[in-house]
Amino acid sequence: MMLTEINFDGIIGPSHNYAGLSPGNLAATRNQGRASNPRAAALQGVAKMRANLRLGLVQGILLPHARPDHRWVARLGTGFAEAPRHLQAQALSASAMWAANAATVSPAPDTADGRCHLTVANLVTMPHRSHEWPETLAQLRLAFAADCFAVHEPVPAPFGDEGAANHMRLAPAHGAPGVEIFVYGVTGGPFPARQHIEASRAVARMHGLDPDRTLFVQQSEAAIAAGAFHNDVVAVANGRVLFAHEQAFADKERFYADLRRLMPEVEIVEVPAAQVSLEDAIASYLFNAQLVTLRSGENALVVPEEARETASVWAWLQDHVAGNGPIRRIEVVDVRQSMANGGGPACLRLRVVADPATIDPRFLVDEAQLDRIAAVIEAHWPEVIAPDDINDPALIARIEMARAALLQTLGVVELIDSLP
């Protein structure tokens, strides 16, 4: 079995809009009420996947959920057309596009039974995301149906779990045993701490992780209060490299000492607050980047355009690369539509270490498959959604038909029956 890292990107759905549903996500709340461009957003996501393929990475997809979620609205005792405006927005949200919140993944080398384990995130802290998990579970059980995978239902409420956005893994190589790091929050000043330590501990137990090679680390209150609603807004890990802001963790000295004890070869790249403030790091999504291993063995960092446009961030990156640091290459991608809703390159992908031959091929893509996906998006995705459009019956019909067209094109007909 040839284990490799596969990035599964969420295809940005046709209901992508700016309803500002996520307190603590400063970009989402700042852009509330703006007109969105679902077609441009989805095509930006496809372009990012093409860029990853050109880097030699293996690329997968996760599919847009049925929106509006009529079943969820029915459980609230109403229909979409009659529901209050805030429930309509929550039912229509395209937030499942941020696949980093789909699940927490532990590769086979780390688990007691030698299988790759995935636990679907419950996302209970935010109403608009709390109803994602049933369809996420259905997709993951299709994509990872082989016996070498174990796909778990979510941790029960009230223990909030936000998936891989609060989980990191360090290992000498993707297919080697690693150290798994669960980052939880306790308090975040004016904003909610979304990841509960009990959820993290439950996931570690279900995955059969070695307690001696599993760390539970508290995110700093300052980071959450500044808008780092997930750990992946202030830290990312890959291979031997931990890339983090100086103010990411509540007790970084203890965390770093534990890491060096468990993995002496770890390379900790810390960005000083004196050079890049928390505010600049979060506004640019410097850390919400894809830190990936190229075929050469070097680390590359895939950052959004906003990182290049933030002077302090771009200066630090250029100095790091020039100084022969462990990150050897910077790749810039345009995901402005996702960024405006609070999700950068790392939010859009779920990392799974597995043998591609064991995965349902409908969830893996090459350039030709991305051509087919782009053609559906160009033909069916709405060009613009204005704030007052979200209860327009014609728009709702178009959103539902657009998703159905994509699923039919990809042959994932099992999921079409989730439409009303």
Along the 420 residues of the chain, how does pLDDT read in single tens digits? 699 999 999 999 999 999 867 656 565 567 677 899 999 999 999 999 999 999 999 999 999 999 999 999 999 999 999 999 999 999 999 999 999 999 999 999 999 999 999 999 999 999 999 999 999 999 999 999 999 999 999 999 999 999 999 999 999 999 999 999 999 999 767 788 889 999 999 999 999 999 999 999 999 999 999 988 899 999 999 999 999 999 999 999 999 999 999 999 999 999 999 999 999 999 999 999 999 999 999 999 999 999 999 999 999 999 999 998 999 999 999 999 998 887 899 999 999 999 999 999 999 999 999 999 999 999 999 999 999 999 999 999 999 999 999 999 999 988 986 443
Closest listed residue to residue 97, CA positions, set 304, 344, 348: 348
CB atoms within 10 A of CB 24: 23
- Cβ proximity of 125 and 229 under 8 Å: no
Q: Name the catalytic one among 131, 196, 347, 380.
A: 347
Distance CA 155, CA 7 (A): 23
pTM assigned to the model: 0.95
Q: Tell me the three state secondary structure of residue 73.
A: helix
Distance CA 2, CA 6 (A): 12
Q: Name the catalytic one among 162, 180, 306, 331.
A: 162
**Which residue(s) pair with 120 in the sheet?**
103
Residue 162 annotated to the active site: yes
Residue 347 annotated to the active site: yes
CB atoms within 10 A of CB 218: 18
Q: Name the catalytic one among 16, 131, 230, 245.
A: 230
Closest listed residue to residue 412, CA positions, set 53, 65, 30: 65
Distance CA 190, CA 224 (A): 9
